[in-house]
Amino acid sequence: MKELAQIASAVQASSTMVMDALAKQMQADGVDVIGFGAGEPDFNTPDHIKEAAKHAITENVTRYTPASGTIAMKQAVCRRMKEDCGLDYVPSQVVVSSGAKHCVYIALRTLVNPGDEVILPAPFWVSYLELIKMVGATPVVVTAEESAGFKMTAEQLADAITPKTKALILNNPNNPTGMVYAEEELSAIARVCVEKDIYVISDEVYYGLLYDGVKSVSFASLGEDVKARTILVNGVSKSYAMTGWRIGYLLSSGKIAQMMGNFLSHSTGSPSSVSQAASVAALNGSQDCVEQMRRAFELRRNYIVERINAMEGVSCLKPEGAFYVMMNIGKQLGRTLHGELISSSDDFAAALLKHGLVATVPGSGMGAPNFIRWSYATGMDNIKKGMDRLQGFLNG
């Protein structure tokens, strides 16, 4: 038979999804594994959102919607972005799709030609790298060191730009590091993007989950010239505990939005009608549920960071957003733990799962080879137990 598509053959499975599936499989098989793998809130979707979905089903809101989303959904997005981020968008600049991940894909599809370069600061969320490759573009990875707070500087960005550079993917607050750019750092990056004429896909899906009183600054709020070249990605999954509903959205200039809508009309057809009705309730309803979950995440972050840093041979920065901690395991490399030689973050994660019954994600697929990502989107009891298990595991 003929060769299968080269691009598809080269795509790697998502390590976050693989780890999550593995942990769930082990749990189903009766193994007492604690999952810190996928970044998925453990909270249930709030009741008023579920009620809106039930109502939509009863009222037969069960048909196709416009390819880029319902008017009600687009209006709700505009309102929420205005209220939370001070952004002025109109509904024709909003595109709704099946999750923020798919939104990033559509944005890349709209911006880049095969052979274009897309700059990706590391550590990065696993899917960005593969998504760039999936559109035939070339990822240019710029490493933001732990000593720099995992933040790429404007100078690093400028140095990475070539005549082939089309876009930058910026994720703020960041998955996997949880770091948050300050406004001046973001502005410096934005100036380089304007001067060098590159687009920015700004994934701000964790914007509602910030700690220590840190305020969210949307990239598109940094000036009209910045906004014009930004495609903003957001979604309801993380802030409203709605991962399974698969609703993300994009904000951009009307022309780009139109192109993305055209693309969607031939690919997904439309996002789920029921999920959009639920998302309208999430965006328009009381935001108290977001604050309640945010507070719980902050307590968990405080606990997990303190425990990790109290252990010998591992450490982590204190993230200001999202629900991830990057644990530095550089000192563990070369050790033998429970009979397993630890030569990489993959070895560490595999051994921790096997001998410590704790599922995490190795940093290898995230441009962070000496790190392990912990998602603390799980209950405090699990976190306490997980930290005890980590301690036991490290003791050898």
Chain positions contacting ligand GLU, by CB under 6 A = 14, 16-17, 38-40, 101, 125, 127, 175, 375
Closest distance between ligand GLU and the C-beta of residue 150, in Å? Answer: 15
3-state helix, strand, coil split of the chain in percent (to 5) is 45, 15, 35
Closest distance between ligand GLU and the C-beta of residue 248, in Å? Answer: 11
Q: What is the DSSP string of 214-253?
A: PPP--GGGG-HHHHHTEEEEEESTTTTT-GGG--EEEE--
CA pair distance 375, 380, nearest whole angstrom: 12
Q: What is the DSSP letter of 56?
A: H
CA pair distance 94, 77, nearest whole angstrom: 8
Q: What is the DSSP string of 138-186?
A: EEEEEE--GGGTT---HHHHHHH--TTEEEEEEESS-TTT-----HHHH
Closest distance between ligand GLU and the C-beta of residue 101, in Å? Answer: 6
Residues constituting the chain: 396
What phi-psi label fits residue 136: left (phi over 0), alpha (psi between -120 and 50 degrees) or beta? left
CA pair distance 326, 377, nearest whole angstrom: 14
Yes or no: say if 264 and 257 are a contact pair by the CB < 8 Å rule. no
Yes or no: say if 253 and 133 are a contact pair by the CB < 8 Å rule. no
Q: In terms of CB distance, is 193 or 366 closer to ligand GLU?
A: 366
What residues form DSSP beta bridges with 203? 171, 233
- Nearest-CB residue to ligand GLU? 39
Q: Which letter, b or e, does each residue of 293-303 get, where b requires 16 or more Cβ atoms within 10 Å of its Cβ? A: bbebbbebbee
CA-CA-CA-CA dihedral for 170, 172, 176, 178, to nearest 10: 150
Closest distance between ligand GLU and the C-beta of residue 255, in Å? Answer: 29
Closest distance between ligand GLU and the C-beta of residue 16, in Å? Answer: 4
Closest alpha carbon to 229 in 261, 201, 249: 201
CA pair distance 20, 360, nearest whole angstrom: 9
Q: Which residues contact 1 (CB under 8 A, 6 or more apart)?
A: none
CA-CA-CA-CA dihedral for 30, 36, 39, 42, to nearest 10: 60
